[in-house]
Amino acid sequence: MQKIKVVKMQGLGNDFVVLDYSEYQKTGLSMSDLAIKLCNRNFGIGADGMIIPKVFSEKNELKIKNEPYDSMFEKNNTTDIGWYFYNSDGSTAQMCGNGMRCFAKYAYDNKLVDKKQFSVQTLAGVIKPELLDNGLVRVDMGAPILEDEKIPFKGDKKLKALDREFEIFPVSMGNPHCIVFTEEDPLNLAKTYGPTIEKHEFFPEKTNTEFVKVLSKSEVDMRVFERGCGITLACGTGACASVVASVLNNLTEHKVKVNLLGGSVIIEWSGSWQNLSEHVFMTGSADYSFFADYIL
């Protein structure tokens, strides 16, 4: 038996197992297999994903090749820190907004970085979180991606799923999202149609699916079926993508409170169809659940 030290964290109920690279090295497992084991809610700790920091000043000798991260980190020479992020099913995700807030808090508290605003290398590019004095974390999520080939998206804006046809708005925040605006119960729609849309042929790398109900010009409800996870209590990149879609469809203003099952985040985007290069900013909580020794 092998004992490793792990931390459980959550951002609005979107939960993650976090462990140092040195703890991962003890396991002898691939990161994908370790994520599946730790994230299992019946036989493991239980989480939506697993996060392992990549400290560039440390020499991390990989026992098992972890593409696509290895090639990305080999080229890094300017970013403060990086991460390995795996979904509960063992797949990688380009980005995770709630996970990034938790990661930022963990990295600062454990002195992996020595400043409250820093840069993180991810598969979606460089993301910049900032720990605020009020305990919240604000993250520069970068600019949204609307070009079909970069999302990637191959289809038209009407999507057939089971017995319904939906008007959709595809957008990427480093990972693909399919936004559906609705006046119905968004959670019921996410449970019913999310699994089918996730694997729809229009999205060659699968997709996160957000059902959005606009409450006012400054507030929306959103429910999500996450790629590789299923129904989750919150999705930070999904909240960002939903606000971008809301702004571009003239449904909301540029600062929006997004209500998720696990709580709310504030999303700010000053962009437009004429200025898609503006960055999206997300502000929300990040909290520790527990610290533990886990026996493999």
Q: What is the pLDDT of residue 278?
A: 98
**Is the CATH number 3.10.310.10 carried by domain 3-132+286-295?**
yes
Please state, in angstroms and rounded to a whole number, the distance separating the CA atoms of residues 239 and 234: 8
Q: For this structure, is 96 an active site residue?
A: yes
- pLDDT of 60 > 70? The answer is no
Segment 141-170, tens digit of pLDDT: 999 999 999 999 999 999 999 999 999 999
Between these two residues, 63 and 194, which has the higher pLDDT value?
A: 194
Q: State the helix-helix crossing angle for 97-109 and 236-248, rounded to 10 degrees.
A: 130
Q: Which pLDDT tens digit goes with each residue over 228-259?
A: 889 999 999 999 999 999 999 999 999 999 99
pLDDT band at 64 (very low <50, low <70, confident <90, very high): low
Q: Does the pLDDT of residue 62 top 60, yes or no?
A: no
- Give the residue with greater pLDDT, 57 vs 225: 225
Q: What is the pLDDT of residues 7-45, one digit of tens each?
A: 999 999 999 999 999 999 999 999 999 999 999 999 999
Confidence at 59, pLDDT banded by 50, 70, 90:
low
Q: Choose the catalytic residue: 96, 102, 178, 229.
A: 96
Catalytic option among 39, 229, 235, 240: 235
Q: DSSP string covering the chain, please?
A: --EEEEEEEEETTEEEEE--HHHHHTT-S-HHHHHHHHH-TTTS---SEEEEEE-TTS----SS--TTHHHHHHT-SS-SEEEEEEETTS-B-S--HHHHHHHHHHHHHTTSSSSSB--EEETTEEEEEEE-TTS-EEEE----B--GGGTT--S-SEEEETTEEEE-EEEESSSEEEEEE-SS-HHHHHHHHHHHHHT-TT-TT--EEEEEEEEETTEEEEEEEETTTEE-S--HHHHHHHHHHHHHTTSS-SEEEEEETTEEEEEE---BTTBTTPPPEEEE--EEEEEEEEE-
Q: Quick: pLDDT tens for 265-290.
A: 999 999 999 999 999 999 999 999 99
| pLDDT given for residue 241 in this prediction | 98
- Find the angle CA(127)-CA(232)-CA(14) to the nearest 5 degrees: 50
- Percent of the chain residues past pLDDT 70, beyond the cut: 96
Q: Give the model confidence (pLDDT) of 77-109 as tens digits.
A: 689 999 999 999 999 988 999 999 999 999 999
pTM: 0.90
Those residues with Cβ within 8 angstroms of residue 208's Cβ, 6 or more apart along the chain or in another chain: 175, 176, 177, 178, 198, 224, 225, 226, 227, 235, 237, 238, 241
Let me know if 178 is a catalytic residue: no
CATH domain 148-279 topology: Diaminopimelate Epimerase; Chain A, domain 1 (3.10.310)
* Domain chopping of the chain, boundaries: 3-132+286-295, 148-279
CA distance 232 to 252: 24
